[in-house]
Amino acid sequence: MNKGLKLAAAVLCAAVLGACGKGDGGAAAGDGAITVGFSQVGAESEWRTANTRSVKEALAAPEFNLKFSDAQQKQENQIKALRSFIAQGVDVIAFSPVVESGWETVLREAKAAGIPVVLTDRAVAVSDESLYATFIGSDFVEEGRKAARWLIEDSEGQAGPVRVVELQGTVGSAPANDRMKGFKEILGQDPRFTIVRSQSGDFTRAKGKEVMEAFLKAEGPGGIDVLFAHNDDMAIGAIQAIEAAGLKPGEDIRIVSIDGVRGAFEAMKAGKLNATIECNPLLGPQLADLVRDVHAGRPVPRRVEVEEGVFTREQAAAELPRRKY
């Protein structure tokens, strides 16, 4: 190595080392790394855990300097995190908004600071579309429609009335609003079905179980034919409640839910869950691409959608080893 090269290598090392100590473990963010503030909803479900892992893996050092914050399902925590990202002058903000409304003010603050915002997974309701650069996530209305279509198909030749209960996601969240909308749109076209009860189980197993217990009590034995749960975790909680009531989940009460997490495939394999509508949480790599683009000022699509399918009990055993979350 000649002298000049050695010097250049030494300068590079010092620059890289200088960025040490940041980021959570692993490699250090490199010189010129893109600093991203990411505000996550919480850790409410298996879906969310897989999503967090995917985001952390994709926005890793040395290319990125990730500042990750968990809001524990509270909007006030997310607003605080966003304000702290703005104060720190991060390059890009990415976040998964727990609910749809109430973001106008803080998003205007980010815009005034010249920090582009990428929405991941959940959408916001704002009148000014320029308040965020792009959105990456699923079509939740379509997921709701898929659940209803599966149910209608599975009920072929069956006489009505079919009494359905609905475990909704977090009140005011995009997936709860949209899944409910898509499900009702399709189910409403078949007069055999009635939604007898709807309540939020906040996307958690514990709440799903609790609310299902209340549904079973209120409707009495034999009063519920179908459960539609806005996510797999609530369905898994509800399965426990159904078994505790002496009923057979998947048989006495048919169950369809959304996400397609490992726990759902295990429940389907055991015959206790009838179908799951896939919602892909592994957004990290596509998010990293969008962050690179908005940071470089390159044009990005307004909306980037994730591809997903529908899986039934019959497919569960074969699919399980292929599942990545």
Applying CB under 6 A, the residues found at the interface with ligand GYE are: 44-45, 47-48, 121-122, 175, 203, 231, 233, 258-259, 279
Q: By C-beta, is 81 or 86 nearer to ligand GYE?
A: 81
Shortest distance (Å) from residue 167 CB to ligand GYE: 11
Shortest distance (Å) from residue 309 CB to ligand GYE: 15
d(CA 304, CA 295): 17
Q: By C-beta, is 29 or 290 nearer to ligand GYE?
A: 290
d(CA 163, CA 161): 6
Shortest distance (Å) from residue 321 CB to ligand GYE: 22
Q: By C-beta, is 121 or 225 nearer to ligand GYE?
A: 121
Any residues with CB less than 8 A from the CB of 43 and at least 6 apart, and which?
49, 52, 70, 72
d(CA 124, CA 91): 21
d(CA 93, CA 283): 15
Tokens representing residue 313 in the block: 């009990």
Q: By C-beta, is 122 or 209 nearer to ligand GYE?
A: 122
Any residues with CB less than 8 A from the CB of 288 and at least 6 apart, and which?
58, 59, 64
Helix (H, G, I), strand (E, B) or coil at 37: strand
Burial of 266 (0-12, 13-18, 19+ CB in 10 A): middle
Task: Classify the phi-psi angles of 121: left when phi > 0, otherwise alpha if psi is within -120 to 50, otherwise beta.
Answer: left
Shortest distance (Å) from residue 261 CB to ligand GYE: 8
Shortest distance (Å) from residue 63 CB to ligand GYE: 26
Q: By C-beta, is 109 or 142 nearer to ligand GYE?
A: 142
Shortest distance (Å) from residue 233 CB to ligand GYE: 6
Q: By C-beta, is 121 or 210 nearer to ligand GYE?
A: 121
